[in-house]
Structures are given as C-alpha cells and as structure tokens.
Amino acid sequence: MKILVTGGAGFIGSHVVDLLIQEGHQIIVVDDLSSGRPSNLNPSATFYHMDIRDPEMRKLLASEKPEVISHHAAQIDVRRSVADPLFDADVNILGSIRLAELAYQSGVRKFIHISSGGAVYGEPVYLPCDEKHPVQPLCPYGASKFAFELYLYIYKQTYGLDYTILRYPNVYGPRQDPYGEAGVVAIFTGQMLRNQQVRINGSGEQVRDFVYVADCARANLLALNQGSGQVFNLGFGIGTTINQIFEQLKEITKYPLNPIYGPPKAGETFRIFLDANHARQELGWEPRINLGNGLCKTVEYFRQKELVEN
C-alpha cells in the first residue's frame, strides 16, 4: 500500500520507512530536515522537503493519495516545550490537526499517530503504567501529544478517519542524534567514544523504559491493519536508571571516566515504565531486542558510522 511517513528522515521515522519498504510498501516521506538527516532517507522512498504545516501539503495529499499516514514529525524536546510552549503546540497540536483534516479530506484510510508514553502520564500513580493510567503530564510536550490523541478520537467519531495511537517509551538505537537535547543513550555513546566528559542531569536515579528502535518500527507495521481506534503503550515494563545506562555503556565502550552530575531538567518525569500487555494481545507486538544487545548494536553503529561522518 502507499504510506506517507511524516518525519521519515528522522531517527525513528527512518527506521519505520526502511521496514515498510522492506515489506513491499510504497513510501512517501515528508520531513523539513530540522532534526532529520538526508543521509537517513531511504532511496526507494519519494521525498518531499516540507513542513507538515506548509499549505502545499494539501496538494501533496491530493496528488499522492496515501492510504495510511504514519505521523512521526513533531517537536520532541521536553526542554524546548517548557521554554516555548506556543511553538510546541503549534507543531504538535495545530500542525497535527491540519494533517488529520487533510487526511480525511483526501480519503486516507488510517492515521497512525506517535505519542509519548514517557510524557503523557506525568509522575505515575502506579507502575508499570497501562493505558488506563491517569493522564497528567508535567510538560507542554506531553500535553500536546495527548491533546492530539483526543482530536483523533473526534475525527474518527465525526469524520470516519480511523486511527491507531502508539505511545512510545524511551527509544534508542542507530541514527539517534548524539548532539541533540534528547536521547541519553546516543549522547552518552557519542561522548564516551570521543573520550569526552559525560554529564548526567540530576541524580541519575531517574527511571525509564528503554526500547530498541527496530522494535518500535515493527509496531508501526503491525498497526497498518490492526488496532482500530485504540491506544497502545510500547515498552518492556521494566525500569532502568540513567546511572545503569551509563555503567553498561561505560563497560561496552571501555570509557575511563566517571560522570559529573548537574541539575535535573525541568518538566521531566522522574520514574516511568510502561505496561505493553494491550499491544501484546491486540497487535501481537512485544520487544525482541533486550537492553544489553541493543546497547551493543548502538555502540557498534556509532563506531562504524557516526564517528566517521562527524
């Protein structure tokens, strides 16, 4: 089928594109390259250098007529959302609503929306968080992601646009930006391989649910024809501290230094991991790559690719 992947030159979106093409689908990528990279683009995809808020998106959908949209394009930086909540809302809420509007007008069958299991729940009432957990985000990013979830429900009820929502955990793996503001595995790996000082924000006892990027890409494949009108957490259901991530990467990379600690980031949840039983039961999804293997794969990628290119 023909599938439009927004953010398809980005870290996670590019892995989704690769898998969908591998499975025989025809892929269109829309990406403004604000954080995505041309080097991530699959040469078999049709690429449009465009922001999802661009008025030309109407013509694009009318001419390409995708059957499914996999919506990965977003403002993803928690700290930027705290500093500039209007920009965060303009991209993640208004930009996404414009895309949903065009989707139903253009006859798109299904809209797969990437939300954030790490941000929408806020500080958990219980762990692991399932989809029935109260939504009480601590940052504008989490609020904007959840707000558009509500709009998708309305678009299905009112206009008949089907959807599936995937709430991602902390995703890591090849192509993640080691110079960005998010993605502790990539940032630590890049610093360790360059023998630079690693800085941990806060105590390092913050807990996250780390899932390898290929596993999240597979959930998008499964959602093409399953999970109508439903929300799914992705995750291992196991928490790992930032200090534990540091120690594992230190051993893999043979990094000789200890970390230094700074103040915690504003707006971030301290402890979160996710119950993915719903995805297991309805989509047949579960993570296949454990943390140790995933970290080794990530370090090897950075050694062979990232350090060479940069």
Torsion angle of C-alpha atoms 65, 69, 73, 75, degrees rounded to 10? 120
DSSP secondary structure code for residue 70 in this structure: E
Question: In terms of Cα–Cα distance, which of 144, 18, 3, 119 is closest to 61?
Answer: 3
Tokens of residue 21, six digits: 């093409």
How many other β-carbons are positioned within 10 Å of the β-carbon of residue 254? 8
DSSP secondary structure code for residue 94 in this structure: I
Question: In terms of Cα–Cα distance, which of 66, 58, 64 is closest to 98?
Answer: 58
| 141 is annotated as an active-site residue | yes
d(CA 30, CA 72): 10
**Catalytic residue among 48, 141, 155, 163, which?**
141
d(CA 125, CA 177): 32
Name residues whose C-beta falls within 8 Å of residue 262's C-beta, 6 or more positions apart in sequence. 199, 200, 201, 202
d(CA 299, CA 201): 21
Work out whether strand 46-49 and strand 26-31 pair parallel, antiparallel, or are unpaired. Answer: parallel
| Chain centre distance of CA 192 | 24
Asked whether the bond before 263 is cis by omega within 30 degrees of 0, the reply is: no
d(CA 41, CA 36): 9
| Chain centre distance of CA 137 | 17
Point out the residues that are catalytic: 141
